[in-house]
Amino acid sequence: MKKLAAAVLLVALGSACGAKSGLFGGGGSGLDAGALRPNIDASFPSGDGASGGGGTGGILNSDGSVSECRRLEAPAELAPLDVFFMLDTSGSMEGLTGAGTSKWQAVGDALARFFGDPESRGVGVAMSFFPVLVDGVPELCADDSACGMPGACRKFGVCFPSGIELCDTDADCANTGDPDDRCEPIGRCENDRSSPCFVSMPVGPCANSACLSLGLCLNQGSCAAGDYSTPSVSLGPLPAVQPALTSALSARTLTGPTPTLPAMTGAITAARSWATANPSHKVIVVLATDGLPTVCGSAAFTLDSIQQAVGEVSDAASAGVVDGIQTFVIGVFASEDISTPQQNLDRIAIGGGTGNAFVVSTGGPVADEFLEALVAVRRQANSCEFSIPDVGEPIDFDDLVVTITAPGDLTRRVDRVGGVSTCDPRLGGYYFDAPPTPTRDPGRVILCPATCDRFGSSRERPVELFVECQ
């Protein structure tokens, strides 16, 4: 079959076409002459200035020559963004913020505003929750018989007065740095089972009520990744899917532990399946949580095991990156506790290919800051990925050339690299979402971080396809 020779994707930043992506918050292009290809920058006309119009454009080649290329009718566009939310609805989400509302209410408010934001229009959204509860297993237990499984009722303590480490015995508190630390068993108030208390202390948060020696049923939340691989709300575009999302948020009950590993694995599975069927889409996972893993995998309510469990969740997120699925992490924690969660959630976000996690303090305006994190995710996730349009004929991807036309018609050629791991930290480049094969064409062109950082913040960036370069 005939191939389109030397096809050219033109990423025109601020060109005469003036198309808007609708996903970005503006900002300058940060142009630096010579930053990408110091020896081959020049000003050239970028065609007739009409979107999808069949004009010609001058492309500067590495040898200094200029190729004239014909624009096709099918322009490339920013890749559609699809988001798979995995939301923590464990019992701790009932905890209060500084404003007096629960963490869950604040998160729900932020999500509702994000879904209704005009800038989110067209974004695809699916929603899942964790934990998935096992029928007949309660949250609290006095002994294993309440959980229906040997060893399932887990009682634990905290090193007091430092409060920085979970424990079973006083020996577990020997290295906390506070010589007065001892292991105090944690229970729940008889008149308010949601309030933790110290079993051995006659005075505490329970007022005139007793502090009962109660633990948690570790088997209340499912550890089967398959239970988390089908979203509670199937993916659909905003705003059409917003009523279903709002209904699911309001109906959700907050209870149970934090089985982050199977939740992450299930979310990656769902996102991967959708991305495989929709290769031109940018598909991401957003994990929102107020706690570290407490069950499943290596998690067992001890500091060492939680750190190991975080590593397992990070590995699950990394498995998604192999297939182009990035994971963004948003945490909600008390201000005095943020340091350790930040470090651990960063590990998950780094595994998911997105750098540092967003951590919101309960002492501040949680809903506003959570919304800011969502907007940042939306902008970061889809600022520099472009769908390769179907032009009706096969494209010779080995000859694909990407150029960037900056404001003022400064045209720059961007070199192709093998993948994000081979992106030059200074010169940048571009790569495909998947290498071209005889049976599968790439779906997207992705700019390397250095190129994206320099040119990725502009709102006006039409993408045009050129062929028949001479």
Instruction: Name 125's bridge partners.
Output: 83, 236
Amino acid 168: pLDDT: 86
* Reported CATH class of domain 81-136+227-381: alpha beta
Render pLDDT for 221-235 as a digit per residue (tens, 0 to 9).
Answer: 999 999 999 999 999
For residue 27, give the nearest of 379, 355, 369 by alpha carbon.
Answer: 379
Which pLDDT does position 75 carry in this prediction?
Answer: 59
CA–CA gap between residue 393 and residue 2 (Å, rounded): 7
Dihedral, 13, 17, 23, 29 alpha carbons, nearest 10: 20
pLDDT tens figures, 138-195: 989 999 999 999 988 989 888 888 876 778 899 988 888 889 999 999 999 988 887 8
Q: Where are the domains of the chain?
A: 8-77+390-467, 81-136+227-381, 156-213
Residue 45, helix vs strand vs coil:
coil
Q: Identify any residues that bridge with 387 across adjacent strands, giving them in sequence order.
A: 77, 444
Report the alpha-carbon distance of residue 60 to residue 316 in Å, rounded.
43
Query: What whole-number distance in Å separates Cα of residue 355 and Cα of residue 380?
Result: 11
Question: Is the bond into 262 cis (omega within 30 degrees of 0)?
Answer: no
Please compute, for residue 452, the number of CA atoms within 13 A of its CA located in the half-sphere on the CB side: 18
Q: Name every residue whose Cβ is closer than 8 Å to that of residue 65 and which is 6 or more positions away in sequence.
A: none
Between residues 42 and 109, which one has the greater pLDDT?
Answer: 109
The residue among 401, 370, 462, 328 whose CA lies nearest residue 68 is 401
pTM, rounded to two decimals: 0.78
pLDDT of 13 reads 42
Structure tokens at 76: 């490339």
Segment (H or E) for 431: strand 430-432
Instruction: Assign 347 to helix, strand or coil.
Output: helix
What distance separates the 2 farthest-apart alpha carbons in the chain? 87
* Percentage of the residues of the chain whose pLDDT score is greater than 90: 45
**pLDDT tens, position by position, 293-350:** 988 988 765 556 778 999 999 999 999 998 889 999 999 998 766 677 899 999 999 9
What is the Cα–Cα distance from 255 to 396, expressed in whole angstroms?
54
pLDDT tens track for 18-70: 333 322 222 333 333 333 333 233 333 333 333 333 445 565 555 666 666 65
Range with lowest mean pLDDT among 75-89, 293-307, 429-443: 293-307
Does 178 or 392 have the greater pLDDT score? 178
Which residues face 60 on adjacent strands? Answer: 66
Which is more confident, 71 or 382? 382
Most confident of 28-32, 103-107, 412-416: 103-107
- Answer whether 286's CB lies under 8 Å from 328's CB: yes
Nearest CA among 251, 206, 293 for reference residue 104? 251
What sign does the CA torsion over 420, 421, 425, 431 have?
Answer: negative
Question: What is the token pair recorded at 238?
Answer: 């905003």
Q: Is 433 left (phi over 0), alpha (psi -120 to 50) or beta?
A: alpha
Q: Does 380 score more than 50 pLDDT?
A: yes
User: Is the pLDDT reported for residue 79 higher than 80?
Assistant: yes
Most confident of 25-39, 118-132, 210-224: 118-132
Give which of 391, 404, 414, 412 is closest to 468, Cα–Cα. Answer: 391
* DSSP secondary structure code for residue 424 in this structure: B
pLDDT averaged over the chain? 81
How many other β-carbons are positioned within 10 Å of the β-carbon of residue 435?
A: 11
